[in-house]
Amino acid sequence: MSSSQSSRTIEGYEVTLDADLPEGWTLAPVSDLADMTSGEYIKRSEYSQNPDYPYPVAGAGGLIGWTARANFKAPILALGRVGAAGALNVYHSDAWVTDNVLVVRPKCKELFDWLSLFF
């Protein structure tokens, strides 16, 4: 390992960063900063294109409709995991997040905007 690399074993994997970390920083898994969970299935009959319903329905590629109930509270980082894998959508209101989405929940509210830069 060169002097410009940082290395650490995380969950059984050797992780190497090809750069110097700023003084006082450490290489750590995302799970130290945020929890990740999948959304939940919603029947097509439970949402519509009618924006009169109060909650957006978050699909892998973004907004797919509106519904009368939410399964996650704001703020929400919604990361597409099926179809539009890797697409990031940010919701500043409560929403229904489908099972095609990973929800990134920062462990500290101040990290919300910062973490959205990395996804």
* Domain spans in the chain, listed from the N-terminal domain onward: 30-116
Q: Which fold has domain 30-116?
A: Adenine-n6-DNA-methyltransferase TaqI; Chain A, domain 2 (3.90.220)
For the stretch 17-31, pLDDT in tens is: 666 778 888 777 778
Furthest C-alpha separation in the chain: 58
For the stretch 96-116, pLDDT in tens is: 999 999 998 888 877 777 766
Which single residue is written with the structure tokens 């990395």? Answer: 118
Q: Give this prediction's pTM.
A: 0.74
Q: Is 4 exposed, middle or buried (0-12, 13-18, 19+ CB in 10 A)?
A: exposed
Q: Which residues contact 83 (CB under 8 A, 6 or more apart)?
A: 59, 60, 61, 100
Which single residue is written with the structure tokens 């996650």? Answer: 72
Q: Tell me, what DSSP letter sits at residue 49?
A: S
